[in-house]
């Protein structure tokens, strides 16, 4: 066992009676106190203890009453961190506060002001920052737990940006067991959290200073063959799918030609095609065949899902899906794709065959993996009757079927564990209170097998398991790591991965294991990452960013409009306050062609887009939204909120301090209170702008706004 360090005077805020500190934890914490850092540790090696150590040191070197913020994706995980910090820090309890969406905004403001160590769900903090209820000026440290979430439009990225903008001296600490496999993913994560590549601190299970603290973990891969009935049904669904793919290919919506298109076209291709078809409908060009192609493409996606059910879940789950499909097809609002598939004779024959087997040979509908699962559980319980077993399953319908069948087998005591959302009367969600009750009963042995969807991967206090079973394979190395981390923390553990031979399951397994290996290689060679990455400092936001793989670069696809409530623009002294913003201090004038206001909502994704195109920009504290070349002003208004008198007064000021003024009205995610409201507002805006001789543009998505900016940047004259 590794050496346990005693608490010294240097760690005076720590509870010496409770906390045992390991060498590697001290070494990592020492390197995280004065610079933004990412800590990558296998689950069970005490990332939270490192966070406590860093927090203690921060409290010793930052001004009195500085705040520390701890962020985690779920309320249960936030509660765990609260208990850990409260236990290990010798700080009065009245300085701690948990702030989630369950607390009224007004009370959150008071709690933020009155407390120093704050525990947040990220969406709650983002909402408060966007609505400017308070700022992070006095925050010394922000801890991002499960830091791999810092991608796309997740709240972590915006909070990190806001923190750096408001407090360049503050420290960011990211914690994760799984940052991603590719160099691009790791770089994007570090970039989003403003962490230099050289400040990644990683340990793997094989490293000398940590391996003595970890128990052995055996990983087994067990493959099964599909039954003849499964193969027959699989082939028939494939024939139906081929018809759809050939239709799309003949109309040139798919690039691939020839036979056996299902071997060339994957589900991801169809999802991409769907986006392209929707885009064609929005354009003014020829729409011949687009509507039909959309329906055919939707049918193909449903058929791909059916194939995955056969491969991964079993024919009983496929039958459940057919029942849902047929029920939905009878609804008035049912899609054309659903109705067509429900009436397809070949699929109907499959449905009848499944129903016949349900009546006379229900065992034929169960996936062969289930029988292997039963044997694995039996063997584990025979060896250790007190074992706790966690079974991860992709679909809730499979969870229900597996639990139902396991209940018939002694001594297995299974329980269903899913998220809070209720899907139907037969598939009700579990409240957070019920989730906690189930986990407590699992810990005490009332249940010995927890059958869980991905809700059990992170963020819940699940007792350590002796055996973790992947009923189906995940291609994500992050989810693979999170699931594995539920065992071999304090005692020996096993992981069993079930898969169907010769199917996508087999492919997904190889992908996940390959990604896991690549992740460790990339993290252990930070220079390779650093060579193609330049850190963005608070003083110089300009970034040159390499092209990120498409699946890793879908940034800000979803607007946060529903969380942002713009206020009416009030009259301001633009002449005195804002003229200087455009002209700038000549001694420190920036060469950046773009200046963005801090108040500009993150929903537009302008920072990421400018970074991607390697356009230099500055962030300014200003009421002016976007300045190009220190002379062109783009000001954005909510079409429902602007006041005509104030707008005209603003325009008078704007035209005097800019060479060109563009007024943009934001219709992104616009919700109509009455039918036709959007069309009427757009017409009124255009008529109003012509009457008062100013240029007004309406935008319906983020890309339109960026197109305006990019066009001006490319043609400044």
- Name residues whose C-beta falls within 8 Å of residue 126's C-beta, 6 or more positions apart in sequence: 155, 158, 159, 560, 563
* Stated pTM of the model: 0.58
Cβ distance 24 to 210 under 8 Å?
yes
Report domain extents, the chain.
4-211, 228-365, 369-517, 550-714
Pairing verdict, β 449-452 and 217-224: unpaired
Q: State yes or no: pLDDT of 211 exceeds 50.
A: yes
Helix axes 122-130, 105-114, angle to 10 degrees: 100
Structure tokens at 366: 């169960």
Domains 4-211 and 369-517 share a fold: yes
Q: What is the predicted pLDDT for the residue at 479?
A: 56
pLDDT in tens, 161-177: 999 887 777 899 999 88
Cα 623 to Cα 570: distance, rounded to the nearest angstrom:
11
pLDDT in tens, 478-488: 556 555 555 54
Q: What percent of the chain has pLDDT over 70?
A: 81
Q: What percent of the chain has pLDDT over 90?
A: 38
Instruction: Fold for 228-365, please state it.
Output: phosphoenolpyruvate carboxylase, domain 3 (1.20.1320)
CATH class held by domain 550-714: alpha beta
Q: State yes or no: pLDDT of 226 exceeds 80.
A: yes
Cα 498 to Cα 90: distance, rounded to the nearest angstrom:
47
Q: What is the predicted pLDDT for the residue at 328?
A: 93
To the nearest whole number, what is the mean pLDDT of the chain? 81
Instruction: Fold for 369-517, please state it.
Output: Rossmann fold (3.40.50)
Q: State yes or no: pLDDT of 307 exceeds 90.
A: yes
pLDDT in tens, 523-580: 556 555 444 443 443 333 333 333 333 333 333 333 222 222 333 333 444 444 444 4
Q: What is the predicted pLDDT for the residue at 184?
A: 76
pLDDT in tens, 16-66: 666 778 889 999 999 998 889 999 888 778 889 999 999 998 888 777 788
Q: What is the predicted pLDDT for the residue at 204?
A: 77
Instruction: Fold for 4-211, please state it.
Output: Rossmann fold (3.40.50)
pLDDT band at 69 (very low <50, low <70, confident <90, very high): very high
Q: What is the predicted pLDDT for the residue at 44?
A: 73
Least confident of 100-104, 150-154, 507-511, 657-661: 507-511
| Highest-pLDDT range among 201-205, 271-275, 672-676 | 271-275
Report how far apart, in Å, the C-alpha atoms of 395 and of each of 22, 317, 416, 524, 609 are.
40, 9, 12, 35, 35
Cα 109 to Cα 71: distance, rounded to the nearest angstrom:
17
Across 303-326, average pLDDT: 94
């Amino acid at each position: 066992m590794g050496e346990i360090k005693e608490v010294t005077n240097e760690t005076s805020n720590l509870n010496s009676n409770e906390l045992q500190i390991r060498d590697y934890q001290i070494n990592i914490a020492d390197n995280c106190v004065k610079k933004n850092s990412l800590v990558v540790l296998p689950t069970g090696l005490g990332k939270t203890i490192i966070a406590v150590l860093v927090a203690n040191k921060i409290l010793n070197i930052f001004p009195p009453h500085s705040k520390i913020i701890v962020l985690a994706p779920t309320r249960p995980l936030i509660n765990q961190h609260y208990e850990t910090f409260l236990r290990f820090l010798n700080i009065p309890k009245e300085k701690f506060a948990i702030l989630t969406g369950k607390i009224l905004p007004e009370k959150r403001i008071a709690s933020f002001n009155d407390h120093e160590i704050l525990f947040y769900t990220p969406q709650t903090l983002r909402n408060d920052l966007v609505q400017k209820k308070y700022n992070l000026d006095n925050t010394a440290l922000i801890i991002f737990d499960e830091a791999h979430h810092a991608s796309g439009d997740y709240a972590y990225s915006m909070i990190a940006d806001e923190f750096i903008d408001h407090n360049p001296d503050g420290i960011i600490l990211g914690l994760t067991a799984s940052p991603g496999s590719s160099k691009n993913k790791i770089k994007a994560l570090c970039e989003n959290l403003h962490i230099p590549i050289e400040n990644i601190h990683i340990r793997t299970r094989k490293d000398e200073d940590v391996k003595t603290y970890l128990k052995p973990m055996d990983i087994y891969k067990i493959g099964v063959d599909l039954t003849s009935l499964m193969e027959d049904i699989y082939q028939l669904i494939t024939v139906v799918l081929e018809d759809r793919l050939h239709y799309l290919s003949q109309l040139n919506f798919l690039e691939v030609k020839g036979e056996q298109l299902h071997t060339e076209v994957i589900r991801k291709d169809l999802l991409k095609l769907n986006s392209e078809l929707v885009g064609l409908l929005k354009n003014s060009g020829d729409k011949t065949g687009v509507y039909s192609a959309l329906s055919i493409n939707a049918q193909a996606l449903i058929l791909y899902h059916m194939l995955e059910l056969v491969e991964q879940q079993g024919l009983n789950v496929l039958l459940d899906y057919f029942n849902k499909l047929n029920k939905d097809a009878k609804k008035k609002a049912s899609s054309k794709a659903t109705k067509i598939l429900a009436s397809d004779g070949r699929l109907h024959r499959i449905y009848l065959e499944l129903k016949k087997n349900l009546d006379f040979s229900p065992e034929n509908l169960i996936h062969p993996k289930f029988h292997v699962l039963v044997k694995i559980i039996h063997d584990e319980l025979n060896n250790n009757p007190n074992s706790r077993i966690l079974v991860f399953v992709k679909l809730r319908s499979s969870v229900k079927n597996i639990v139902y069948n396991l209940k018939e087998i002694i001594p297995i005591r299974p329980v269903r564990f899913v998220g809070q959302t209720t899907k139907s009367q037969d598939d009700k969600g579990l409240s957070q209170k019920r989730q906690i009750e189930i986990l407590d009963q699992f810990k005490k042995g009332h249940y010995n097998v927890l059958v869980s969807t991905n809700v059990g991967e992170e963020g819940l206090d699940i007792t350590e398991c002796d055996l973790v079973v992947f009923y189906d394979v995940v291609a994500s190395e992050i989810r693979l790591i999170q699931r594995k981390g539920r065992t071999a923390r304090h005692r020996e553990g096993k992981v069993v991965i079930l898969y169907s031979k010769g199917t996508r399951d087999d492919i997904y397994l190889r992908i996940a294991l390959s990604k896991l290996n690549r992740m460790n290689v990339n993290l252990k060679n930070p220079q390779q990452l650093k060579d193609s990455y330049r850190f963005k400092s608070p003083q110089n936001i300009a970034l040159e960013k390499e092209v990120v793989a498409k699946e890793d670069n879908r940034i800000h696809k979803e607007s946060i409009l529903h969380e942002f409530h713009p206020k009416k623009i009030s009259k301001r002294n633009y002449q005195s306050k804002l003229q200087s913003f455009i002209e700038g201090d000549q001694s420190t004038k920036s060469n950046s062609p773009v200046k963005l206001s801090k108040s500009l909502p993150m929903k537009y994704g302008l920072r990421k887009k400018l970074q991607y195109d390697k356009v230099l920009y500055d962030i300014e504290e200003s009421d002016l939204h976007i300045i190009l070349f220190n002379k062109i002003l783009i000001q954005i208004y909510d079409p429902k909120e602007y006041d005509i008198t104030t707008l005209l007064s603003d325009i008078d000021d704007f035209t005097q301090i800019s060479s060109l003024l563009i007024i943009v009205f934001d219709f992104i995610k616009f919700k109509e209170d009455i039918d036709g409201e959007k069309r009427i507002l757009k017409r009124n805006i255009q008529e109003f702008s012509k009457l008062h001789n100013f240029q007004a543009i309406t935008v319906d998505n983020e890309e339109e706004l960026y197109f305006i900016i990019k066009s001006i940047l490319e043609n400044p004259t």
